[in-house]
Amino acid sequence: MEQQKGGIYRYGMVIDLDKCTGCGTCMIACAAENNVSVRPDQTDKERTITWMKLYKITNGKEFPHTEVSYFPRPCMHCDEDGRGHHQPSCVSVCVATATKIDHNTGIVSQIYTRCIGCRYCQAACPYGARYFNWWDTYFPKGKGLERYLSPEISPRMRGVVEKCTFCHHRLMRAKTQAYAEDRTDIEEHEYTTACAEACPAQAITFGDLNNPEHKVSQLIKSPYAFRLLERLNTKPKVYYLSTKDWVRKMADNYLPGEFKPVTKVTG
Amino acid sequence: MKNQASSSQKTSKFGLTSLFNRFISFEKGSTFLPPFSFGVWIFFLAGLIPSLIVGWIIYPMALYSKQPQPMNFNHALHLNPEIVDGIEGDTETERCLFCHTFREDGTFAGIPKLDKCLECHDDPESPLGETPEEQEFLNKYVAEEQEIPWLSYFRQPDCVYFSHIAHVKIGDQDCETCHGDFGRTEKLPAYKVNRMTGYSIDIWGRNIAGYKTNTWDRMKMDDCAECHTENDLEENNACFVCHK
């Protein structure tokens, strides 16, 4: 894995697919944390909004050899090259400068009040991580759902695109706490995403990929680490770990004979 | 010779002078309407001046609704250590922070709650001053334990995240830089809110033309970015530093 270059911090995520049980807690935690609107009919999956989405994949074999794995998919927060030439695909197509990559943190921002809803970014994103608001924010009345809304998250209006922000408000919260304690740097445990915090199997790890002391930067050195559609050169900051060859093979489009399974494992 | 004389007469009739005369006066029986006649100027100005007055004075006044604060608060009196014993701090900013505090987690408490007032005004029976405001405050709010429904002049839109502690403690900015001389006023001004957007006039700026003379005249995104750029903090102009 190449080392990320750019600004001071490069926040990223490592998801261990061998640990993931597919329980969906990350999806629930994400939606609750980020005031993600629901639909009266949540079964209409073309219109529902899931910043963190769980995919189920199988190796397609007959019963005794069937294997299943689950793929949590947040926004990949694709990286820039640090020279301003290479931008995340959603950023380079945005006509309204509503989405940008923060050079200091590597987080791809989405400003709802700036978004004009052209959905270019949605088309440009190879991961389907962006969602369009076809309606205004809706929470069923009388269910007490509005009491769970977070004041730290701005609600989205009809006609804008939204996506995972790596729980950016938690970074703000951690910064504010640090300033109150006369610090300017943030510890590893102070900033983590809602999905990583909620995962009961602890499959999701979050931290600074640039900091060699953070757990994520050690995990991505594993030979089993891979990224989704890595060869598109989008430089995602979300890494996956899987010891299963067929899972790693599914993460990209390989020609026959092109995929190289991990044969030598050291350490 | 005769012909020449008559032709020269003809040209003088259509010379500059006669053209000018035709412009400024009606000629009897002429179908040509002069565009700059005195009468037209009157009508033109009669339309222009009222429309300018409406556009630059009456419309901006009508755009903002005025709401008085629930009661007056004398900032100058409360910030004066010679009058108020409890107020601590060497600088003005520190004295502001005495009531407008930071919470333990670093968030800014904003307009103080009644509890903060009660730290000094704890007894409804014995007022500290003699102003009618204090009498009203003790009878109406302290005795009945009601929070005062202050109107916030500086409420930013929902999409904005503003960290006070980053500016005051880390950035070492004075309150005055953004909030002006509120700390020295004796009367709270009326809260003016834009009827269309619902934002306070202190966010949009008091001048309808957008002129700014002081740093505290406006609180729009450009004003934040201007200060960041001036102080070589351009990285803080990234979207996700102030937006949520």
Considering only residues 92 to 121 of chain A, which have any Cβ-Cβ distance to chain B shorter than 8 Å? 100, 102-105, 107, 109, 111-114
Q: In sequence order, what are the residues at sequence separation of 6 or more whose Cβ sits closer than 8 angstroms to the Cβ of residue B213?
A: none
Amino acid at A17: L
Angstroms from B243 CA to nearest CA on chain A: 7
Q: Is residue B193 part of a domain?
A: yes
Angstroms from A181 CA to nearest CA on chain B: 8
Residues B194, B168 within the same domain: yes
Query: 3-class SS at A213?
Result: coil
Report the pLDDT value the prediction gives residue A3, as an integer from 0 to 100.
39
Of B107, B159, B170, the CB nearest to A112: B159
Min mean pLDDT across B5-9, B108-112, B188-192 is at B5-9
Containing structural domain, residue B42: 2-26+34-59
Query: Tokens 């400003």 correspond to what residue?
Result: A111
Q: Is residue B101 part of a domain?
A: yes
Residues B107, B210 within the same domain: yes
Residues B166, B221 within the same domain: yes
Q: What is the mean pLDDT of chain B?
A: 83
Q: In sequence order, what are the residues at sequence separation of 6 or more whose Cβ sits closer than 8 angstroms to the Cβ of residue A235?
A: A4, A78, A79, A80, A81, A86
Angstroms from B163 CA to nearest CA on chain A: 7
Question: pLDDT class for B10, splitting at 50, 70, 90?
Answer: very low
Q: Is residue B154 part of a domain?
A: yes
Residues B101, B164 within the same domain: yes
pLDDT(A16) > 90: yes
Contact criterion met (CB < 8 Å) for B238 and A173:
no
Min mean pLDDT across A17-31, A40-54, A73-87, B160-174 is at A73-87
Dump pLDDT digits (tens) for A196-218.
999 999 999 999 999 999 999 99
Q: What is the mean pLDDT of residues B22-38?
A: 59
Residues B6, B104 within the same domain: no
Which of A35, A172, A183, A191 best tests the B interface by mutation, with the highest count of B CBs <10 A?
A172
Contact criterion met (CB < 8 Å) for B105 and A173:
yes
Residues B100, B167 within the same domain: yes
- If one counts the domains in chain B, the total is 2
Strand partners, A72: A54
Q: Is residue B137 part of a domain?
A: no
Residues B92, B213 within the same domain: yes
pLDDT(A227) > 80: yes
Amino acid at B58: I
**What is the C-alpha separation between A66 and A76, in angstroms, rounded?**
28
Report the pLDDT value the prediction gives residue A89, as an integer from 0 to 100.
93
Residue of B nearest to A8 (CA): B235
Report CA-CA distances (Å) from A217 to A3, A9, A234, A238, B209. 9, 12, 19, 11, 52
Q: For A11-250, CATH number? A: 3.30.70.20
Angstroms from A153 CA to nearest CA on chain B: 6
Q: Is residue B124 part of a domain?
A: no
Contact criterion met (CB < 8 Å) for A179 and B166:
yes
pLDDT(A144) > 50: yes
Dump pLDDT digits (tens) for B161-220.
999 999 999 888 999 999 988 888 899 999 999 999 889 998 888 887 888 888 888 899
Angstroms from A41 CA to nearest CA on chain B: 28
User: What is the domain partition of chain A in residue ranges?
Assistant: 11-250
Residues B91, B187 within the same domain: yes
pLDDT(A40) > 50: yes
Contact criterion met (CB < 8 Å) for B165 and A176:
yes
Residues B170, B106 within the same domain: yes
Residues B195, B89 within the same domain: yes
Residues B52, B167 within the same domain: no
Q: What is the mean pLDDT of residues B224-231?
A: 92
**What is the C-alpha separation between A15 and B39, in angstroms, rounded?**
81
Report the pLDDT value the prediction gives residue B16, as an integer from 0 to 100.
59
Which of B97, B240, B243 best tests the A interface by mutation, with the highest count of A CBs <10 A?
B240
What is the complex's ipTM, to 2 decimals? 0.81
